[in-house]
Amino acid sequence: MRWLTVGGALAAVLVGTSVFAVGGIWASLPMIGFFISASMLPRALRRSHQTEQRTARQVVANGLAPTLCCWGILLYPEHEASFWSGYAASLTAAAADTWATEFGMCYADTAWHIITGKRVPKGTSGAVSFIGTLSGAFGAVMVGSLTMPLLPPYPLQSLLICSLGVGGMRLDSLLGATLQARYQCTSCGVEGEQPICCDAPAVLVRGVRWMDNDMVNLLSTLTAAAVGIAIG
Ligand SMILES: [Zn+2]
């Protein structure tokens, strides 16, 4: 399993150097702010299945969209402003989702399914909570304000970027409630996100097989980036 850790580190180095090479310290700050806040947020209640492999995938899930925006600046320098807007939007969305998940898991008493509105156990994909939403919005504003030096001095655009972050968080919940794979164990009957349970493959009961939590994160941050680029 060791190479996965190296893979994760390589992914982080690739993301970090791309961002720093293209945008220097001002572009790196919101990225650093996101990663520090994401790792400092309450670790104790993180889902226990987060192994080294998931950490490596997590870097890509949250880091690919902003990195692509940096590469876009290298390829099309004439569209730099638009790509920075996409960069800011994808990072802000990643932050909103991470903050919402961590705080919601730790402190929410009640969670609701984003589509049906029914009460569901917190941590269920597609579950939203008041505390989670509030914390996500706070995370969006925190990382969003760090992206301000990258954006033209229009207060409206910064506000739009933060709203995009919150929108990305909502899209994440929506995808989690619809497309994300959900499995049921054939021996213990437990339903969850893991394709393996009781040492045996579990049956897919909903969603798309390859659509796991990281894939949902990736799609949401890529969508936020695309909308951010369009706004920019
Ligand atoms: Zn089982």
Report the separation in Å between the CA atom of 214 and the middle of ligand 1, taken as the mean of its atom positions. 22
Burial class (CB in 10 A: 0-12, 13-18, 19+), 154: exposed
Q: pLDDT per residue over 198-221, tens digit each?
A: 999 999 999 999 899 899 999 999
What pTM was computed for the model?
A: 0.89
Mean pLDDT rounded to a whole number for the chain:
88
Helical segments of 147-195, H only: 155-178
Tell how strand 203-206 and strand 182-184 pair up.
antiparallel
Q: pLDDT per residue over 137-169, tens digit each?
A: 999 999 999 999 898 777 788 888 889 999 999
Query: Which residues, other chains included, contact 155 with Cβ-Cβ below 8 Å and sequence gap of 6+?
Result: none
Report the separation in Å between the CA atom of 177 and the middle of ligand 1, taken as the mean of its atom positions. 22
Report the separation in Å between the CA atom of 41 and the middle of ligand 1, taken as the mean of its atom positions. 30
What is the DSSP secondary-structure string of 127-138? EE-HHHHHHHHH
Report the separation in Å between the CA atom of 185 and the middle of ligand 1, taken as the mean of its atom positions. 5
Amino acid at 84: W
Strand partners, 35: none
List the domain boundaries for the chain.
2-181+210-231
Strand partners, 88: none
